[in-house]
């Protein structure tokens, strides 16, 4: 299992000062949530951790090796990304899309085998989209597409998950399904980091949080040390009321 480490990482958000250098270790078994308002740089951070954006300075280590020294194939065998925006215009069925998750393990012209199909079909079941296996992804609803994207990364079976708003478009039940899946992946030894807009899902399911401010300032640590109402109010520029439900805090915006 691999850990993800950032050393003095400054993400490159155009026109913004450097802010806080990120020195973070995401250990196998941990579930990290990245919180911050629109434009704070959450997606930029995730893309930088995946090697899709270059950092302004510092570096990212994947399984002890600098991301820059690894091939895309090596990266894809360790790290899976659930993107916020997807180009689903390519005409592929749900099953064909999930099978893309096996490509990092196949040689260029190798066809997927029975074990690859079994893994993809199991992932589709897990995300409640098996009944859609022969449908074109372009014909699916927003929530169905989101679940297919999750199933594709589950088929990839990465030891590090980076998920950008994985509960986007999902109804309440499927939000829980996805968060439980992330927790289960971590319990099985993966390291998970996800950007979330829902503070309450983060409070319930994440064990570590990174708060990212629009200035580039950041702080991170164990969940309970980060869920400080005054810090969250400053983060979102929004007054909050806090109640406790089933042992977890629930944050509600106060009507101004």
Ligand X SMILES: Nc1ncnc2c1ncn2[C@@H]1O[C@H](COP(=O)(O)OP(=O)(O)OP(=O)(O)O)[C@@H](O)[C@H]1O
**Do β-strands 208-212 and 57-62 pair in parallel, antiparallel, or remain unpaired?**
unpaired
- Residue 175 within binding range of ligand X, rule CB under 6 A: no
- Residue 42 within binding range of ligand X, rule CB under 6 A: yes
- Residue 43 within binding range of ligand X, rule CB under 6 A: yes
How far apart CA 94 and CA 147 sit, in angstroms, is 10
Q: Closest separation between CB of residue 38 and ligand X, Å?
A: 3
- Considering beta carbons, is residue 14 or 17 the nearer one to ligand X? 14
Helix (H, G, I), strand (E, B) or coil at 130: helix
- Residue 19 within binding range of ligand X, rule CB under 6 A: no
List the beta strands (DSSP E) in 36-107. Answer: 57-62, 65-66, 79-82
Which of 4, 10, 13, 81 contacts ligand X by CB under 6 A? Answer: 13
Which of 41, 55, 166, 249 contacts ligand X by CB under 6 A? Answer: 41
Q: Closest separation between CB of residue 134 and ligand X, Å?
A: 32
Q: Are 12 and 56 in contact (CB under 8 A)?
A: yes
- Residue 36 within binding range of ligand X, rule CB under 6 A: yes
- Residue 40 within binding range of ligand X, rule CB under 6 A: yes
- Residue 237 within binding range of ligand X, rule CB under 6 A: no
How far apart CA 20 and CA 57 sit, in angstroms, is 11
Give burial (CB, 10 Å; 0-12/13-18/19+) of 159.
buried
The residues that touch ligand X, with contacts defined as CB under 6 A, are 13-14, 36, 38-44
């Amino acid at each position: 299992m691999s850990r993800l480490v950032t050393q003095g990482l400054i993400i490159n958000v155009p026109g913004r000062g450097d802010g806080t250098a990120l020195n973070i270790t995401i250990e196998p078994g941990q579930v990290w949530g990245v919180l911050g308002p629109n434009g704070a740089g959450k997606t930029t951070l995730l893309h930088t951790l995946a090697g899709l954006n270059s950092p302004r300075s510092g570096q990212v280590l994947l399984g002890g090796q600098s991301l820059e020294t690894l091939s895309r194939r090596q990266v894809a065998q360790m790290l899976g990304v659930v993107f916020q925006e997807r180009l689903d215009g390519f005409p592929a069925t749900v099953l064909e899309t999930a099978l893309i998750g096996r490509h990092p393990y196949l040689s260029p012209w190798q066809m997927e085998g029975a074990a690859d199909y079994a893994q993809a079909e199991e992932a589709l079941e897990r995300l409640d989209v098996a009944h859609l296996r022969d449908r074109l992804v372009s014909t699916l609803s927003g929530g169905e597409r989101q679940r297919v994207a999750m199933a594709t990364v589950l088929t990839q079976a990465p030891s590090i998950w980076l998920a950008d708003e994985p509960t986007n478009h999902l109804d309440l039940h499927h939000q829980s399904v996805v968060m439980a899946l992330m927790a289960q992946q971590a319990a099985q030894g993966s390291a998970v980091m996800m950007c979330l807009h829902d503070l309450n899902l983060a409070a319930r399911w994440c064990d570590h949080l990174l708060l990212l401010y629009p200035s580039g300032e950041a702080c991170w640590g164990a969940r309970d040390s980060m869920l400080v109402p005054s810090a969250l109010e400053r983060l979102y520029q929004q007054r909050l009321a806090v109640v406790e439900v089933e042992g977890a805090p629930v944050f509600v915006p106060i009507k101004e």
